[in-house]
Amino acid sequence: MNNRVGVVIVAAGRGSRMGTQESKQFLLLRDKPIFIHTLEIFAAMPEVDEMVMVTGAEDVERCREWIRQYQIGKEVQVVAGGSERQHSVYRGLRHLHADWVMVHDGVRPLIQPELVRSCLEAAQRTGASVAAVPVKDTVKQVNGDGIITATPDRRSLWSIQTPQTFRLSDLLRAYEEAEQTGFLGTDDSMLVERLGIPVTVVQGSYKNIKITTPEDLDMAALWVKTEGEDIK
């Protein structure tokens, strides 16, 4: 089996919920841009053969400069994304020549190598995988008038994270199908599911947060400080 692995790091969002002029992926965590922490984790893993980072067209050059400055251990292609996350990922995928691809949010810098490996192993065993955690809270389905219409069984609900891992050929086919039909999904797995490909859930971590608000950034900094995490 061919097991060459590529990673697409998505860092093209503007992050309006952060309430800052600077995009969230470029804010500092432990004196480094958030996305640099994320790149360093994947670059240090021997399982990873190729890396592509997708960012805003206006940010490509400064991201390349940051990557040089922080001496990321693997070559990282930096390419311009599109108007939606889905378009950005698709552009990143077309720069890879791997057998397997992992798509990860650039603003999830607390991802642990052990979870990355678990996701990769699950995908190579079953065909596709996503990191996820069980929902802790009771979830309500609400109609347009603000009235509760259903209470789904919490035991069957999972909050999806990244990395999400697939055969590159499958994910490219899923993106091509979505583009041809004008379908816009909320994550990569949703596009693959439309092809009838089963996706395995891998137990993720509640610490693997997506930094989208000031509170998230404070929490990430607190975890780094109190747990002594050596995020480079």
Q: What is the pLDDT along the chain (232 residues), one digit of tens a residue?
A: 578 999 999 998 776 566 566 788 999 998 899 999 999 999 999 999 999 999 999 999 999 999 999 999 899 999 999 989 999 999 999 999 999 999 999 999 999 999 999 999 999 999 999 999 999 999 999 999 999 999 999 989 999 999 999 999 999 999 999 999 999 999 999 999 999 999 999 999 999 999 998 899 989 988 877 765 454 4
On whether residue 226 sits in a domain, the answer given is no
Owner of token pair 């041809």: 180
Give the pLDDT score at 24. Answer: 87
Residue 146 in contact with residue 134, Cβ under 8 Å? no
Give the pLDDT score at 13. Answer: 74
- Give the structural domain span for 190: 5-131+159-213
Q: Is 55 helix (H, G, I), strand (E, B) or coil?
A: strand
Tokens standing for 68?
């040089």
On whether residue 152 sits in a domain, the answer given is no
Domain count, the chain: 1
On whether residue 229 sits in a domain, the answer given is no
On whether residue 231 sits in a domain, the answer given is no
On whether residue 142 sits in a domain, the answer given is no
On whether residue 151 sits in a domain, the answer given is no
On whether residue 120 sits in a domain, the answer given is yes
On whether residue 94 sits in a domain, the answer given is yes
CATH for 106: 3.90.550.10
